[in-house]
């Protein structure tokens, strides 16, 4: 009983460790800059007091009412209208409207806590009254000839969410491009190693050939070779290859001058690199699974007249689907999230998502919510992949532990 | 239809020889059972006939053709495995049709043969199911059906009943027997269960450690076992063996005396063998009594009724007839013919 409770608590803790940051990211990415910067994501669902500075209207809005010169307006409406105009001018998506009620206000941005809504304070010899709904009146005895004044206001702002950050992320074209680049890299870099590894795993399990065990030993030994070790040699191979291909094309007259400078860092280079780095683990995992398929099945198929290739395609592939899928998920996640390999061996102009986001951290340092939107876009893809294939994933992990099925 | 001829067949794994020059002739249409304790090479022999194991030396011929280097699928054999070996991702129909599809058989021919086999085995209702939705007995029938549709010259069964429960085993055993009556094909059947061997076989081949100990009809093996191993292996409960100085057999002259428990009868006077009563197993139909000889060797006897004597008392037994007393050479274990 106690063990079960501990296990449940542990599970709960693990779930929280994953879900809380995820939720934080998602919530922050749907908030405005002001909200994201000033309050934590855990307060996003309650009304928060947030300090704003508003500019009132100035002399252009002065009206003569009775003996007085009066400026009237609504701080929220004016500000929202100005923000929308600015966004429209810059071709940016609609901004978050400020709404809510005035909690306190003061005569300058630095002292917003002077008066309560409905109270009147003295600003530039005028009687300034701010109501809860943002309406203000500013009454002078003599004609007012200056421009507006910045006042500090604490606004009790209700929760507010929107898709502005996502619209902005998509609008500038860099994130969608990176998204497409990531797919271009990831899909072949997942399918190629899985297919090669499946063939290899079958051969290592069910084919007799000289040196089989030695070869398998080498493959498994490659599991422990660190990735970083290969960067410089691989890069120099790619560079030499590009040079060589360029020279060859030039000598054949296929191109001339600058056209012959083929890039060394390409998508196909990334596919090859990810395939090579992924294969040892893929072969190791798939071999374990495929070697565990019942021998009688293969023998039965041989008696039925199936060749090795037919046994592989008609029997082993469909039966290994859970293992293929679970390794496929691993490889997909690893390639999708990879920054290092893509940075060193990938194309320098067509960036993948992790590199793009890494670059945006420099550009949009103060706009956490915008970075979060980009990050969430990059997270949602593996999440969809995982959730849609988790049935296979779980079955693949359990493979061999349960007989039959 | 074809017989199987095996000549001087040897099999080695590396330096270890596991089959030591086996010669065997199986007639067309015969039901042959390979029987022996585990590790005796009976499955290896069957798999060499199927082509799943390579022959180290010697020949395997099916009909008139030596098939040593013929692919398993071209030998005209079909095999039923202990674990059924059904393709889990295919329906019953596809399982049965797979071999025919590989052979590019026309579709209507496939349908005809699968339907016919399904009718023989009464699995017509399950043709669209997948193997995981079948019981053990049904799966084994599908496995047999898969063999039937290929219309082989030789059926090979590798302990097909071992994974079934006792009642189903008896029932399926009958069905296999009936199938043989109906198809009249050559069938080779591997088992370690001597009851299956006795009931099914036209001819039993007893193997031990890669040698054939004896080949013969079930009744031959029962009445005239060639050696002490066969005598002990065939028949249940096991035959009793007595040293020459442990029993009153005047003809023994230093040889081992063997008598089956069912051939011993209790007598009042001094008999062939005397034993101290150790244990009584009441079977209903008979009582199996376990006794120990003066030298302490254990033996058993089948009695129609439980003995009236108490445990520890001495009982006397005679063989029902002198024909039922077997003599074996103590060194070679070979039968001494009288």
Contact B78 A294 (CB under 8 A): no
Instruction: Please tell me which of the candidates B73, B88, B132 has its beta carbon nearest to residue A303.
Output: B73
- DSSP states of B8-24: EEEEEETTEEEEEEEEE
CA distance, residue A382 to nearest chain B CA (Å): 29
Q: Indicate the Cα dihedral angle A279, A280, A282, A288, nearest 10°.
A: 150
CA distance, residue B207 to nearest chain A CA (Å): 23
CA distance, residue B213 to nearest chain A CA (Å): 28
Q: What confidence score (pLDDT) does residue A400 get?
A: 43
Please give the structure tokens belonging to residue A311: 């046994």
Q: What confidence score (pLDDT) does residue A114 get?
A: 87
- Distance of alpha carbon B25 from alpha carbon B14, whole angstroms: 27
Contact A303 B72 (CB under 8 A): yes
Residue A165: closest CA among A372, A404, A398, A390: A372
Contact B73 A405 (CB under 8 A): no
The CB-side HSE value for A82 (13 A sphere, CA atoms) comes to 11
Contact B82 A304 (CB under 8 A): no
Chain A: residues touching B (Cβ < 8 Å):
294, 296-297, 299-306, 310, 315, 318-319, 404-405
If one counts every other C-beta atom within 10 angstroms of the C-beta of residue A388, the result is 11
Residues sharing a CB contact under 8 Å with residue A234, sequence separation 6 or more, in sequence order: A273, A345
DSSP, collapsed to helix, strand or coil, labels residue B282 as: strand
**pLDDT tens for residues B137-150?**
899 999 999 999 98
Test mutation, B14, B54, B62, B72, chain A, max A CBs within 10 A? B72
For A105, list phi and psi in degrees, rounded to 5.
-150, 165
Using a CB-CB cut-off of 8 Å, the residues of chain A touching B88 are: 319
Test mutation, A298, A304, A310, chain B, max B CBs within 10 A? A304
Please give the structure tokens belonging to residue A195: 């297919």
- DSSP states of B91-152: -HHHHHHHHHHHTT--HHHHHHHHHHHHHHHT-GGGTTS-GGGS-HHHHHHHHHHHHHHT--
Instruction: Please tell me which of the candidates A297, A303, A404 has its beta carbon nearest to residue B79.
Output: A303
Question: What's the start-to-end Cα distance of chain A, in Å?
Answer: 30
H helices present in chain B, as ranges: 42-50, 92-102, 107-121, 136-149, 166-183, 194-200, 218-223, 228-233
Q: What is the ipTM of this complex?
A: 0.84
Q: Indicate the Cα dihedral angle A111, A114, A120, A121, nearest 10°.
A: -50
Query: Tens digit of pLDDT per residue, chain B (338 long)?
Result: 689 999 999 999 989 999 999 999 999 999 999 999 988 999 999 999 999 999 999 999 999 899 999 999 999 999 999 888 999 889 999 999 999 999 899 999 999 999 999 998 889 999 999 988 888 889 999 999 999 998 999 999 999 998 888 888 998 899 999 999 999 999 999 998 888 999 999 999 999 999 999 999 999 999 999 999 999 999 888 999 998 888 888 787 888 999 999 999 999 888 889 899 999 999 889 999 999 998 889 999 999 988 888 999 999 999 988 888 999 999 988 998 76
For B294, list phi and psi in degrees, rounded to 5.
-55, -35
Residues sharing a CB contact under 8 Å with residue B172, sequence separation 6 or more, in sequence order: B137, B140, B141, B160, B161, B164
Test mutation, B14, B44, B99, chain A, max A CBs within 10 A? B99
Cis peptide before B185 (omega within 30 of 0): no
Contact A404 B132 (CB under 8 A): yes
- Distance of alpha carbon A397 from alpha carbon A323, whole angstroms: 8
- Distance of alpha carbon A162 from alpha carbon A31, whole angstroms: 6
Contact A303 B132 (CB under 8 A): no
Evaluate whether A355 touches A233 at the Cβ level (below 8 Å): no
DSSP, collapsed to helix, strand or coil, labels residue B329 as: coil
Q: What confidence score (pLDDT) does residue B109 get?
A: 94
pTM for this entry: 0.81
Evaluate whether A93 touches A87 at the Cβ level (below 8 Å): yes
CB pairs under 8 A between A and B: 57
DSSP, collapsed to helix, strand or coil, labels residue B310 as: coil
Query: Tens digit of pLDDT per residue, chain A (405 long)?
Result: 889 999 999 999 999 999 999 999 999 999 988 888 888 899 999 999 998 989 888 888 888 888 888 999 999 999 999 999 999 998 888 889 998 899 999 988 888 888 999 899 988 888 999 999 999 999 998 888 888 889 999 999 999 999 999 998 888 888 999 999 999 999 999 999 999 999 999 999 999 899 999 999 999 999 998 888 889 999 999 999 999 999 998 888 888 878 888 888 999 999 999 999 999 999 999 999 999 998 999 999 999 999 999 999 999 999 998 889 889 988 999 999 999 999 999 999 899 999 999 999 988 888 888 899 999 999 999 889 888 887 776 665 554 444 443
- Distance of alpha carbon B69 from alpha carbon B65, whole angstroms: 11
Domains and CATH numbers, chain A: 18-44 (no CATH), 47-158 (no CATH), 168-397 (1.10.3720.10)
Domains and CATH numbers, chain B: 4-232 (3.40.50.300), 239-328 (2.40.50.140)
Q: What confidence score (pLDDT) does residue B246 get?
A: 84
């Amino acid at each position: 009983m106690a063990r079960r409770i501990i296990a449940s608590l542990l599970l709960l803790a693990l779930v929280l460790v994953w879900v809380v940051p995820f939720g934080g990211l998602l919530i922050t990415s749907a908030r405005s800059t002001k909200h994201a910067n000033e309050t934590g994501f855990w307060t996003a669902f309650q009304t928060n007091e947030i300090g704003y500075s508003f500019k009132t209207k100035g002399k252009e809005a002065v009206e003569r009412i009775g003996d007085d010169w009066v400026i009237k307006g609504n701080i929220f409406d004016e500000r929202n209208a100005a923000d929308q105009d600015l966004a429209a001018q810059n071709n940016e998506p609609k901004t978050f409207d400020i709404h809510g009620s005035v909690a306190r206000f003061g005569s300058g941005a630095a002292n917003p806590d002077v008066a309560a809504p409905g109270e009147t304070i003295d600003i530039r010899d005028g009687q300034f009254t701010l109501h809860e709904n943002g309406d203000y009146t500013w009454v002078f005895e003599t004609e007012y000839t200056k421009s507006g004044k910045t006042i500090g206001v604490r606004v009790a702002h209700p929760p507010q969410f929107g898709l502005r950050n996502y619209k902005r992320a998509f609008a500038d074209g860099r994130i969608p491009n990176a998204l497409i680049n990531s797919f271009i890299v990831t899909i072949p870099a997942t399918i190629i190693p899985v297919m090669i590894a499946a063939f290899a795993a079958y051969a290592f399990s069910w084919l007799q050939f000289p040196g089989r065990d030695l070869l398998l030993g080498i493959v498994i030994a490659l599991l422990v070779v660190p990735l970083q070790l290969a960067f410089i040699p691989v890069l120099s191979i790619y560079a030499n290859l590009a040079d060589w291909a360029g020279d060859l094309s030039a000598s054949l007259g296929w191109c001339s001058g600058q056209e012959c400078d083929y890039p060394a860092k390409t998508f196909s280079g990334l596919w090859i690199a990810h395939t090579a780095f992924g294969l040892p683990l893929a072969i190791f995992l798939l071999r374990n699974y495929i070697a565990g398929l019942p021998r009688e099945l293969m023998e039965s198929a041989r008696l039925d007249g199936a060749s090795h290739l037919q046994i592989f395609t008609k029997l082993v592939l469909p039966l290994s689907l859970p293992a293929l899928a679970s390794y496929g998920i691993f490889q997909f996640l690893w390639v999708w999230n990879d920054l290092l390999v893509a940075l060193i061996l990938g194309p320098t102009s067509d960036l993948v998502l992790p590199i793009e986001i890494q670059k945006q951290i420099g550009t949009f340092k103060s706009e956490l919510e915008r970075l979060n939107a980009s990050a969430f876009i990059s997270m949602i893809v593996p999440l969809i992949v995982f959730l849609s294939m988790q049935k296979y994933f779980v079955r693949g992990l359990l493979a061999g532990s349960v007989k039959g099925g | 239809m074809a017989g199987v001829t095996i000549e001087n067949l040897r099999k080695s794994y590396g330096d270890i020889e596991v089959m030591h020059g086996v010669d065997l002739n199986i007639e067309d249409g015969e039901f042959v059972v390979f029987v022996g304790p585990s590790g005796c090479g009976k499955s290896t022999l069957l798999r060499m006939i199927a082509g799943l194991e390579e022959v180290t030396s010697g020949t395997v011929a099916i009909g008139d053709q030596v098939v040593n280097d013929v692919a398993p699928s071209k030998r005209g054999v079909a095999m039923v495995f202990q674990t059924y070996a059904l393709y889990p991702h295919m329906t019953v129909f596809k399982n049965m049709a797979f071999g025919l599809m590989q052979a590019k058989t026309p579709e209507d021919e496939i349908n005809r043969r699968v339907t016919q086999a399904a009718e023989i085995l009464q699995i017509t209702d399950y043709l669209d199911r997948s193997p995981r939705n079948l019981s053990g007995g049904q799966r084994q029938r599908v496995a047999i059906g898969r063999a039937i549709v290929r219309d082989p010259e030789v059926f090979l069964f590798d302990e097909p009943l071992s994974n079934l429960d006792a009642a189903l085993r008896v029932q399926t055993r009958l069905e296999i027997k009936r199938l043989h009556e109906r198809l009249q094909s050559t069938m080779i059947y591997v088992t370690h269960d001597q009851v299956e061997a006795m009931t099914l076989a036209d001819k039993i081949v007893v193997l031990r450690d890669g040698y054939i100990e004896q080949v013969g009809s079930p009744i031959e093996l029962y009445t005239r076992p060639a050696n002490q191993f066969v005598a002990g292996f065939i028949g249940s409960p096991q035959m009793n063996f007595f040293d020459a100085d442990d029993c009153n057999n005047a003809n023994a002259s230093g040889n081992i005396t063997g008598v089956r428990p069912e051939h011993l009868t209790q007598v009042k006077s001094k008999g062939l063998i005397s034993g101290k009563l150790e244990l009584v197993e009441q079977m209903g139909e008979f009582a199996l009594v376990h006794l120990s000889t003066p030298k302490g060797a254990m033996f058993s006897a089948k009695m129609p009724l439980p003995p009236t004597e108490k445990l520890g008392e001495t009982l006397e037994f005679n063989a029902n007839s002198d024909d039922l007393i077997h003599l074996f050479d103590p060194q070679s274990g070979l039968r001494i013919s009288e």
